[in-house]
Amino acid sequence: MKHWQLYIKRKELGKSQGDIAKMLGISTGRYQLKETLQAEFTLAECHKLAKYFDTTLDELFPSDAISEAG
């Protein structure tokens, strides 16, 4: 599973996982774990991502995706 909205937004901008990891100040490997629901984003990271992608937290992290991460 993935955070699909995050994945789609990243691809739309032509950004790599490494690009987003750098923006967040984390390693690419750590970002990969978070995007694939194997680790959780911090609230601060969620806010940075929403601002970066010019969207809302609700749009970027729909409640069904949060439930799946569980």
Which pLDDT belongs to residue 1?
75
Contact at 8 Å (CB) between 19 and 12?
Answer: no
Residues 28 and 30: their CA atoms lie apart, in Å, by 5
Quote the domain boundaries for residue 37: 4-69
Which pLDDT belongs to residue 62?
87
Percent composition of the chain: helix, strand, coil (DSSP 3-state, to 5): 65, 0, 35
Q: Provide the pLDDT confidence category of residue 68 given band limits of 50, 70 and 90.
A: very low
Which CATH number covers residue 58?
1.10.260.40
Structurally, the chain folds into a number of domains equal to: 1
Which pLDDT belongs to residue 64?
63
- The pLDDT tens digits of the residues spanning 23-65 come to 999 999 999 999 999 999 999 999 999 999 999 999 999 876 5
Residue 10 has pLDDT above 80, yes or no: yes
